[in-house]
Amino acid sequence: MLLHFTKMHGLGNDFMVIDLITQRARLDETRIRQWADRHFGIGFDQLLLVEPPRNPDMDFRYRIFNSDGSEVENCGNGARCFARFVVDNALTTKREIRVETQGGPLTLKLTADGRVRVDMGAPRFEPAALPFDAEADLPVHRIEIDNEAVEFGVVSMGNPHAVLVVDDVDSAPVLTLGPRLEAHPRFPRRVNVGFLQIVSAHEARLRVFERGVGETLACGTGACAAVASGIRRGLLTSPVDIDLPGGRLTLEWSGGDDSMIMTGPAERVFDGRVAI
């Protein structure tokens, strides 16, 4: 059996996207890891599945699997690619699309300039939302790693994030501290780790070590979490342009229970077929 797929990226965060509305397939972790391999497979950060909704108020169900085969709750760069995919493949004629995810519903809107605007929902800071083992909801938490204090904010964007403020993202210990914090026992479901550099009140830089993936060129939910933490700590003011290694996203958040709005590009790379 040949399964059609599309390779896409959002700021270099790359995806294999499969339509499971007009096609049928049963995928397991072993197969996902094989496809994710950049030498012997297709290669991607995440696999995105387009499925029929379970909720009649939704247009689609959106599922996300990391390259290690684990299913995760949300992916902002993937959400933009998801919207571009369902429109380009004539799975919908709508320009505003509601999708259900493990992390909750998302609203995706294609803009006139070809970018995608995503209502990411409200950031949540209470430790139980991630989950994170802490006694209180604080703007800044602290963990001892190798006898050194590491300070960070915690944010849930439907998936868990820890945000560290650094002087310079280029020299930040992303590849050494990132995996240590990702797997720290106080994060029982692991955590995405963002390293945030403040440039001005409306501009920042970010690198993200993603749970189950490693460092990626961009992380949409990580950008949302970084901006939310920065605003909460008085370091940033909405709107914020945030530069990741793969490009720039624009984030808007008015605070409180208001939604975080993310705007950015989504690009199709190629279409292919894989035997299963």
Which residues carry out catalysis?
75, 219
Dihedral in degrees, nearest 10, Cα atoms 117, 182, 255, 204: -70
Q: Which positions ≥6 away from 26 have C-beta within 8 Å?
A: none
- Cα angle 184, 186, 190 (rounded to 5 degrees) comes to 55
Q: What are phi and psi of 203, to 5 degrees?
A: -150, 140
3-state secondary structure at position 272: strand
Pair 97, 86: CB distance under 8 Å: yes
- Strand pairing partners for 2? 275
* The Cα angle at residue 158 between residues 154 and 162, in degrees rounded to 5: 20
Both tokens of 162, joined, read 């820890």
Cα 60 from chain centroid (whole Å): 18
